[in-house]
């Protein structure tokens, strides 16, 4: 059995995070001592590792909780997890496209800035490197 500090050291997850997992219903101590100390089994070590692996893949704690509830209810979560992974892949692809568009916009600004290394500042509270002369500012 592990006390919370030992579980924290063993999993490299802070005590505060372990307590938060408990409040979220993701982790429960196997028992408490008469002094109120939490005691965890080896299964808790595996549970914390599962939580951290899922988080590293972008799965939220709420999504993890639903996976764990399905497992606890005797339902294999694999179909749900597969769909969740598909959604995460699609979201990452969208984010990559957004970042590529941002990179292209930044590169265009940088090319303009490098072509105009000493622009005249108009003193109007704008930077010509961000909005070159003659370029319209589109509302956000």
**pTM of the predicted structure, to 2 decimals:** 0.73
* CA of residue 29 relative to chain centroid, distance: 26
Length of the chain (residues): 140
- What's the whole-number average pLDDT of the chain? 89
d(CA 43, CA 103): 45
Q: Residue 1 pairs with which residues in a beta bridge? A: none
For the cut 50, the answer to whether the pLDDT of residue 140 exceeds it is no
Q: Tell me: the pLDDT tens digits for 55-68?
A: 999 999 999 999 99
DSSP state of 23: H
Structure tokens at 73: 């209810």
User: So what's the architecture of 2-57 in CATH?
Assistant: Orthogonal Bundle (1.10)
Structure tokens at 91: 């979201």
d(CA 131, CA 114): 14
Tell me the torsion sign for CA atoms 64, 69, 74, 75: negative
For the cut 80, the answer to whether the pLDDT of residue 18 exceeds it is yes
């Amino acid at each position: 059995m592990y006390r919370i500090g030992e579980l924290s050291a063993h999993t490299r997850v802070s005590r505060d995070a372990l307590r938060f997992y408990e409040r979220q219903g993701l982790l429960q101590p196997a028992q408490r001592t008469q002094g109120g100390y939490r005691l965890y089994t080896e299964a808790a070590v595996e549970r914390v590792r599962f939580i951290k692996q899922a988080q590293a893949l972008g799965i939220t704690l709420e999504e993890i909780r639903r996976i764990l509830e399905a497992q606890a209810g005797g339902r294999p979560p694999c179909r749900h997890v597969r769909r969740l992974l598909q959604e995460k892949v699609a979201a990452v692809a969208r984010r990559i496209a957004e970042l590529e568009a941002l990179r292209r916009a930044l590169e265009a600004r940088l090319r303009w800035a490098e072509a105009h290394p000493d622009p005249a500042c108009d003193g109007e509270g704008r930077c010509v490197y961000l909005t070159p002369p003659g370029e319209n500012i589109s509302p956000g």
